[in-house]
Amino acid sequence: MLYHSTRSKQSFVTSKQAILEGIAPDGGLFVSDELFNTQLDFASCISDTYQELALKVLSLLLDDFSHDELCACVEAAYGSNFDTPQITPVTKLGNSWLLELFHGPTCAFKDVALQILPQFMNVAKQTLAPHTDIEIVCATSGDTGKAALAGFSTIPHMGVCVFYPQGKVSDIQRLQMVTQTGEYVCVAAVKGNFDDAQREVKNIFANRALEAQLKDTHVVLSSANSINVGRLVPQIVYYAYAYLTLVKDGVISFGAPVDFCVPTGNFGDVLAGWYAKQLGLPVGKLIVASNSNKVLCDLIKTGTYDKNRAFVKTISPSMDILVSSNFERLLYYLSDGDTSFVTECMNELSTSGSYALPLELHERLKADFSCGYATDDDTQKDIAATFETTGKVLDPHTAVAHFVMQQHPSQNVQVCLATASPYKFAADVLHALDPTATPQNGFDAICELQKLSHTTAPQQLTSLKDALVLHTRVCEVHDMAQAVLDCAKTLGTGE
Ligand X SMILES: *Cc1c(COP(=O)(O)O)cnc(C)c1O
One-letter amino acid at 77 equals A
Instruction: Identify which of 353, 358, 301 has the alpha carbon closest to the alpha carbon of residue 331.
Output: 358
Residues 413-432, interacting with ligand X (CB under 6 A): 419-420
Which stretch in 80-88, 179-187, 190-198, 259-267 sits in contact with ligand X by CB under 6 A? 259-267
One-letter amino acid at 381 equals K
Catalytic annotation, pick one of 110, 125, 285, 392: 110
CB of 101 to ligand X, least distance (A): 8
3-class DSSP string for 152-193:
HCCCCCEEEEEEEECCCCCHHHHHHHHCCCCCCEEEEEEECC
Instruction: Identify which of 230, 232, 240, 231 has the alpha carbon closest to the alpha carbon of residue 272.
Output: 232
For 472, list phi and psi in degrees, rounded to 5. -120, 5
Burial 47-68 (b: 16+ CB within 10 A, else e): ebebbebbbbbbebbbbbbeee
Which stretch in 83-91, 130-138, 261-269, 438-446 sits in contact with ligand X by CB under 6 A? 261-269
141 contributes a contact to ligand X by CB under 6 A: no
| Total residues in contact with ligand X, by rule CB under 6 A | 17
Measure the CA–CA gap between 315 and 193, rounded to whole angstroms: 16
Q: H or E element: which one contains 288?
A: strand 283-290
110 contributes a contact to ligand X by CB under 6 A: yes
Q: Which is nearer to ligand X, 122 or 226 (CB)?
A: 226
Contact in structure between 453 and 181 (CB atoms under 8 Å): no
CB of 326 to ligand X, least distance (A): 7
DSSP state at residue 21? H
- Exactly one of 135, 259, 269, 448 binds ligand X (CB under 6 A); which one? 269
110 is catalytic: yes
Binding characters for ligand X, 225-244, by CB under 6 A (x = yes):
-x------------------
Q: Which is nearer to ligand X, 125 or 168 (CB)?
A: 168
- Exactly one of 246, 276, 319, 480 binds ligand X (CB under 6 A); which one? 319
Q: Which is nearer to ligand X, 202 or 478 (CB)?
A: 202
- Strand intervals (E) in 196-252: 219-222
Measure the CA–CA gap between 123 and 220, rounded to whole angstroms: 16
- Exactly one of 89, 104, 265, 439 binds ligand X (CB under 6 A); which one? 265
14 contributes a contact to ligand X by CB under 6 A: no
Which stretch in 267-275, 277-285, 356-364, 487-495 sits in contact with ligand X by CB under 6 A? 267-275
Helix (H, G, I), strand (E, B) or coil at 490: helix
Binding characters for ligand X, 69-108, by CB under 6 A (x = yes):
---------------------------------------x
Binding site for ligand X (CB under 6 A): 108-110, 143, 226, 263-269, 318-319, 397, 419-420
